Amino acid sequence: MRAKTAARLVREASGSEMTSPLILASRSRSRADLLRQAGVEIEIAPALVDETAVKAGMAAEGAAARDVADTLAEFKARRVSAREPGRVVLGADQVLVCEGRMLDKPQDLAEAREHLAFLRGKTHELLSAAVIYELGAPVWRHVGRAQMMARPFSDGFLDDYIAGQGDALLDTVGAYRLEAGGAQLFTRVQGDYFSVLGLPLLEVLGFLRTRGLCRE
């Protein structure tokens, strides 16, 4: 019989084995799909966090992009955990930084085009943070990284890409979806593929196994 983790033995001894699904404190369809496709049962409970204000405040303090992503992920997990303290809650956030500039999700297709034109021919970094709360406190965190090298695509290609993808581009930092045609924008990707999609999935799954929320 496979040995049980120490964490599970403690929970079983105390009669507190967790059977409730993981709560995802995010409205990201990509993150939800990644977890479900990996076999994780989830409930979605988006956290109301003023991300723009948090980013602006941290940028004014000179915070590193990694810390911004981690802080936003924790704020989301904390907000939902306050309502569901007995549950395991996952908060996540993604930050894109290029030449010292942090990009948010575009507000419209015109801004999406501006973002992609800015990234063209450059290398940028994606940081995908995940923070897990349990019993109202943070118990695990990780920040995944990926470097994206955009090719010097033409204006014509850019216009066709935006027309083909449409409003779906507004749901992603950087205004591209690597899994849905966005690969055409790049010459090379280094780092964690799942972090490009918005979640350091393998590391998250590793922790969830210790809580019985993912098969060992």
Could you list the active site residues?
A: 93
CA distance readout (Å), 139 to 28, 88, 89, 134, 171: 22, 10, 10, 6, 29
* Cα angle 34, 163, 165; round to 5: 5
Rounded distance between C-alpha atoms, residue 30 and residue 210, angstroms? 24
Cα Rg, the chain, nearest whole Å? 18
Phi, psi torsion values for 128, nearest 5 degrees: -115, 110
